[in-house]
Amino acid sequence: MSHKYLITGAAGHLGSALCAFLKAKGACVRGFVYETDDSSYIESLGVAVYRGDVTERESMERFFEIGDGADWVLIHTAAIVDINSKQNERMREVNVNGTKNVMEAAKAANIGKIVYVSSVHALPVLPHGRVMREIDAFDPEKVEGAYAKTKAEAAAYVASEMKGGLPACIVHPSGIIGPYPSKGNHLVQMIKNYIDGKLPGCVKGGYDFVDVRDCVEGIVAAAERGRCGQCYLLTGGHYTVAEMLKMLRKMVSGKRVIVWPKWLAKLFAPILARSALKRGKKPIYTAYSLSTLGVNARFSHDKATKELGYVPRELYETLSDTVEWLYECGECEKKQKKRRTRYAVKRLGFAGV
């Protein structure tokens, strides 16, 4: 295992978990975070924090001042996740141009190994019944949604650089959930909302969810054993939102929630999105997220299992540990008594979970 790591996006959910894992192994870790990010958690771990903006190459100069970088590993996680349908210029600037800046800086520093953290959203969706596996050519025109297009464009750039000799591999996580600081993670926000009794409802459909700790172990394995020029899917398993909430209900003595028909969810999605933004929260349900829950989300992580020893845990364990983390950090209040089912669930005649 390498003992010197550079991590961009170190204050994010994935970045924080990476820092915790690597510091526990005794590694030297430098974390690059945005100017206004809360880095208190990773600083408490002993991570050397550098502030800047991946869209501004000069702000990363000190971060990459490492002498000969041959003994260093760069893990590029910095990205903006936005589940709104409309293009976000700042998101494209960070996800695409920021990635280009980071890769150029890595080449100049002669970094020994690079792991670029992409997303399964960079892959074109196949029809239901098909299983999606690794690809080696990415095209933003073949994916739907502004976020997916930025990740596909960035992956296409990194893939082309790998063909030119960049010592890198690409990993594609699915929907990341789990413990560790998770500000901005839509999926963890949904879990918080449910625990607090503020989840307005759920919709039919589901996605592939992966534990952030499994994702971290897969990334580090890719840094150590992943073949340069290759891509690896770091996925967990497909679950419906209703299945997830049923598990949570037993863990936290939660309430039943309405399962909305898709037409009703689409009708109220803009209202819920505006309400979340007014409260300073990221929206959970948008037209894009509702669409994502309805598409094929069957992925194979066989390649990562075979080459990296990647074995994800079951969702129940992930949810249980996430709940405990939220309680311990004071982000959610532990309730002792089970609350009654809302009268509206029965009155409206919708199914409940």
Q: Is the pLDDT reported for residue 189 higher than 80?
A: yes
Reported as a single tens digit per residue, the pLDDT across 25-81 is 999 999 999 999 999 999 999 999 999 999 999 999 999 999 888 899 999 999 999
User: How many angstroms separate the CA atoms of 281 and 283, rounded?
Assistant: 6
Ordered structural domains, the chain, with CATH: 4-181+207-238+298-315 (3.40.50.720)
Q: What is the pLDDT of residue 339?
A: 44
What CA dihedral angle connects 49, 53, 57 and 61, to 10 degrees?
Answer: -20
At residue 199, what are phi and psi to the nearest 5 degrees?
-85, 115
pLDDT surpassing 80 at residue 337: no
pLDDT at 267: 75
Tell me the average pLDDT across 111-130.
97
Q: Using DSSP, state whether 208 is helix, strand or coil.
A: strand
Residue 321: Cβ within 10 Å count: 18
CA dihedral of 242, 247, 248, 249, whole degrees rounded to 10: 90
Examine the pLDDT at 350 and tell me if it is beyond 80: no
The pTM of the full predicted model, rounded to 2 decimals, is: 0.91
Is the confidence at residue 283, as pLDDT, over 80?
no
pLDDT category of residue 277 using cuts at 50, 70 and 90: low
Burial class (CB in 10 A: 0-12, 13-18, 19+), 320: middle
Cβ neighbours, 10 Å, residue 123:
23
**For residue 20, how many C-alpha atoms fall within 13 Å in the half-sphere facing its CB?**
18
Q: What mean pLDDT do residues 150-178 have?
A: 98
- Is 6 within 8 Å of 32 (Cβ atoms)? yes
pLDDT at position 276 is 66
